[in-house]
A and B are shown apart, each in its own frame.
Chain A
Amino acid sequence: MAFPVAQRWLLGVLVVSLGASALSGSIDPYFLDVVMGVGVSVVLASSLNLINGFTGQFSLGHAGFMAVGAYASAMLSTVVAPRLGWSPALLQWVFFPFSLVVGGVLAALAGLAVGAPSLRLKGDYLAIVTLGFGEIIRVILQNVDAVGGARGLTGVPTYSTLFWTFGTAALTVYTVWALLNSTHGRGFLAVADDEVAAEAMGLDTTRYKITAFGIGSFFAGVAGGLYAHLKGYLNPGGFSFDKSIEIVVMVILGGMGRHAGVVFAAILLTLLPEGLRELGGRSVPNPFGGAAWSLDWIKDMRMILYSLLLIVLMLTRPQGLFHRDERRRKRA
């Protein structure tokens, strides 16, 4: 059994990110921001993978759950935290994780509230219900003045560090992995494969789906909290349908129900637009002599290139970036 290896991995990432966190003062702030964004993406994609990939439920509401967690933890940090009179270190190391968990729990409750009544629905129908839920959340946030309404919520303390983002990412990946690699966990896959047969084999399919929804939206909420304390500013527009689609694309590109593939896709798709932006500022030497070719056009074509790349990847690797089927591998 290779399981202690997984826990060692988890511990390893935690230690490394703690170390990197301590050194983050000497890292370029833009770069740091991008890298932490990668951590948040990994949390989002891995948690959605539990719902969409492994359990076979099509949720389009992940940005909505993320928004619940983001606003909840941001409100805690902006309204409650200043009244405590705690030291900054105490706020960052005790209050911040607490606010993340609260955000996650509220998101999970929202997930259960949406999930429990609508999980009889399958496929497209569930997708539409979750899509509608995500939009409702966004519209509410846009119209509630207490959270800044359409102007957004400003002044969120930037507590997110490399440690918190990557620590959470590692914890999410570990949780989803550990959950799946057990006899109980194979039940998620069984539900995705054939609900009728799963029920006949004694699996409570509804409970499995609700568990997947609850855990998935919990981590989406935590990711939202990390995001809020990373950017320092929240805008309802950032949690629109586009954001949900972005996360779904990560899961599909990584290969529905693959652990490593989805993590990799989350990293790739978060870095890609930034990488193209970077590339746009450069130029390549002209092999025929003369003036160097400017790559300025990439700046304008950035999102088109991004979309084209997605199309090409889907055409060439519809089964996900990693071909190898992890599910077939011996249980670790």
Chain B
Amino acid sequence: MSDPLLQLTGVTLRFGGLTAVSSVTADVKEGELAGLIGPNGAGKTTLFNLITGVYQPTDGRIEFAGAGTGGVKPFHLTGRGIARTFQNIRLFPSLSVADNVRVAFHRHLEHRTGHSWLRGRRFHAEEAELGERTRELLGIFNLERFQEAPAKSLSYGDQRRLEIVRALATGPRLLLLDEPAAGMNPSEKDELMRLIRFVRDRFGLAVLLVEHDMKVVMGICERIHVLEYGRKIAEGSPEEIRADPKVIAAYLGD
């Protein structure tokens, strides 16, 4: 079997006396749809922040695509192929929908800041090509008709989708989704599940998903990691997790 795309080995994060994440070992394989669940405050979002380089682990090691991520800045990790969405939507509200996606293409640009001053042929060719790619990407998610609208004017569901589109524009190999179903109604959730599967198949990337909605997690994840109080208490297929007494105890109490 090939090496996992993302490998966490004994990852620990302490804030002073508080151990937010304690010796977590987990992995995400290439092209896998993995889930990360746990009660409130279990450390799921903190783990996301560790993977994306916002926090540095106090102990342990994180490897992405075979290389350690220790000390690497978040924007460099994005360049290496980790993209994310946020629990509370963090679009660029004053930018248009198209520009939100366009800036995310930034790392793949060949021209540099100086070229936008000279505005030569190459600059225009590349900008035009990016415009085309942005339109194409928005088109896949039926957002192209909002292109010129400011991102803040979109409906809640559309903003969530735009966040995913923006993350995809960075060209990731691993997409981290932080509670994508939060605040969605049942039909929107069904739509979201279809969307996540579609994204994985179409772009051939691995997805790691933090989610509270069990229907969504159980419905699409192939493998689920369970956190409680910063420790990993279980890992397995949805069926295994559903039947795991430790998980049931964590959610329902002893």
Other A-B pairs beyond A201-B83, A201-B169, 11, CB < 8 Å: A1-B128, A182-B123, A193-B94, A193-B95, A194-B93, A199-B75, A202-B75, A204-B75, A211-B113, A327-B94, A328-B96
Q: How far is the CB of A99 from chain B (nearest CB, A)?
A: 23
Q: Which residues of A contact B (CB under 8 A)?
A: 1, 3, 6-7, 175, 178-179, 181-187, 189-190, 192-194, 196-205, 211, 325, 327-328, 330-331
Query: B218 in the interface, Cβ–Cβ < 8 Å?
Result: no
A182 partner residues in chain B, CB cutoff 8 A: 113, 115-116, 123, 127
B167 partner residues in chain A, CB cutoff 8 A: 201
- Give bound CA distance, A21 to B88, whole Å: 56
- Interface segment among B103-111, B185-193, B201-209, B231-239: the answer is B103-111
Q: Select from chain A the residue with minimum beta-carbon distance to B166.
A: A201
Which one of B119, B149, B150, B167 has the highest number of Cβ atoms from chain A below 10 Å of its Cβ?
Answer: B119
- Give bound CA distance, A6 to B127, whole Å: 16
Q: Is the Cβ of B92 less than 8 Å from the Cβ of A202?
A: no
- Give bound CA distance, A308 to B91, whole Å: 38
- Give bound CA distance, A178 to B94, whole Å: 19
Q: Which of B83, B84, B117 contacts A178 (CB 8 A)?
A: B117
Q: How far is the CB of A55 from chain B (nearest CB, A)?
A: 13
- Give bound CA distance, A53 to B186, whole Å: 41
Q: Is the Cβ of B52 less than 8 Å from the Cβ of A1?
A: no
A6 partner residues in chain B, CB cutoff 8 A: 119
Please judge, given known A-B contacts A197-B92, A328-B150, whether A183 and B112 are in contact too, CB under 8 Å: no
Query: B86 in the interface, Cβ–Cβ < 8 Å?
Result: yes
Query: B124 in the interface, Cβ–Cβ < 8 Å?
Result: yes
Q: How far is the CB of B205 from chain A (nearest CB, A)?
A: 15
Q: Which of A1, A7, A192 contacts B124 (CB 8 A)?
A: A1
* CB pairs A–B below 8 angstroms (10 shown): A178-B117, A190-B103, A192-B94, A193-B94, A196-B86, A198-B103, A199-B75, A200-B83, A200-B84, A201-B106
Query: B159 in the interface, Cβ–Cβ < 8 Å?
Result: no
Q: How far is the CB of A104 from chain B (nearest CB, A)?
A: 15
Q: How far is the CB of B243 from chain A (nearest CB, A)?
A: 36
B113 partner residues in chain A, CB cutoff 8 A: 179, 182, 184-185, 211
A331 partner residues in chain B, CB cutoff 8 A: 99, 127, 131
- Give bound CA distance, A7 to B92, whole Å: 29
Q: Select from chain A the residue with minimum beta-carbon distance to B163.
A: A197
Q: Select from chain A the residue with minimum beta-carbon distance to B153.
A: A328
Q: Is the Cβ of B103 less than 8 Å from the Cβ of A186?
A: yes
- Give bound CA distance, A191 to B185, whole Å: 32
